Amino acid sequence: MCLLGFDIVRRIQKDQSEWGTSSWLLVMVRADMYREKPFVLRRQDLDITVLPTKNLTELRTIPNSKLHRGKANFMGDKSAMNTLWSHSEVPIKAISENRNDQMGKHLEAVIKQLDDALEMEVPDSEEKVTNNSTGWTCIDVQLMIQNLLARLVGKIIVGKPACRSPEWMDLAEHFTEGSVTVSIIMRLAPKWMHPLLTEVIPQRQRLRKRHQGIFNITDPCVARHEEVKSKIKQGLEAEEEDNIVAWIEFLIENAFISDNARKPDIGRNSHNYGVLG
């Protein structure tokens, strides 16, 4: 029994160590081995149970209180940033409620933003050509598309003028990249090491710095929302911004009013919205 127990522990440790170097191979081998049966992938921080597609119908019936996408995603990192976007269904609900029968309006706004973004991101060959007899201009297509998408997505998330700000462009370019890098590093280590790694990993420090910088993006959005709300109360004409931050603000305010609960300080917690970047 002792030898059997030692062998099981050794195999578990072997699987955990191999996850960091050949995770894709482990997934492919296990999927081919078990096919239509559940199997477990062992990582340093937590184990992952992979279910076959035949279980999808059953999984859809499980309530969020038992199977929550945000909680599941951050289970391995006990020091993860607990944000409104990752640990709450509020943003998804806000998007769903403002998506129905309004796709045409949102598409029109995105097309207009695309025209502005093209002027800023796509170079004019006549202006860029220098000492080039062929008349061709060299561009970084990947960077250009990335910046175009950042401006288009920013229009829907934070609206104007935030979607054009350097802070938003930096966030859109680096925040997701930093988050993925940190998550990969953290998942190579056991859970008990996460609090220590959080303090020493340079990528995590840069991520925190950008996270704090989100105030510069969302606080003006929140201030404009409060200004519009104040004008409406005074009977003045005012148009609410049509972006995700405003939708979330409206949803949270109505939820707390209906529950007679104290509304949180959304202004100083608005950085939670920025995790969308």
* Domain chopping of the chain, boundaries: 2-61, 73-123+140-277
What 3-state class would DSSP assign to 256? helix
| Confidence band of 142 (pLDDT split at 50, 70, 90) | confident
Task: Over range 182-194, report the average pLDDT.
Answer: 78
Q: 158 with 218: CB under 8 angstroms?
A: yes
Q: Which of 19, 81, 84 is nearest to 248 (CA)?
A: 84
Matching residue, tokens 């056991």: 190
User: What's at 130, amino acid-wise?
Assistant: T
Q: 241 with 91: CB under 8 angstroms?
A: no
Q: Check whether 236 has a pLDDT greater than 60.
A: yes
Q: Check whether 274 has a pLDDT greater than 50.
A: no
Q: Check whether 88 has a pLDDT greater than 50.
A: yes
| Structure-model confidence comparison of residues 47 and 74, the more confident one | 47
Q: Which helix (H) or strand (E) holds 50?
A: strand 47-50
Q: Which of 156, 184, 264, 173 is nearest to 210 (CA)?
A: 173
Residue 159: which region, alpha, beta or left (left: phi > 0; alpha: psi -120 to 50)?
A: left
116-130, 194-208, 234-248: segment of lowest average pLDDT: 116-130
Mean of pLDDT over the chain: 72
CA angle 195, 197, 199 (to 5 degrees): 80
106: tokens are 């949102």
**Residues β-bridged to residue 49:** 40
Q: Check whether 235 has a pLDDT greater than 50.
A: yes
Q: Check whether 266 has a pLDDT greater than 50.
A: no
Q: What is the reported pTM?
A: 0.60
What 3-state class would DSSP assign to 131? coil
Q: 251 with 93: CB under 8 angstroms?
A: yes
Q: What is the reported pLDDT for 276?
A: 42
What 3-state class would DSSP assign to 235? coil
Q: What is the reported pLDDT for 2?
A: 47
Q: What is the DSSP letter of 187?
A: T
Q: 174 with 151: CB under 8 angstroms?
A: no
Q: Which of 40, 20, 22 is nearest to 31 (CA)?
A: 40
Measured distance CA(54)–CA(58) in Å, rounded:
8
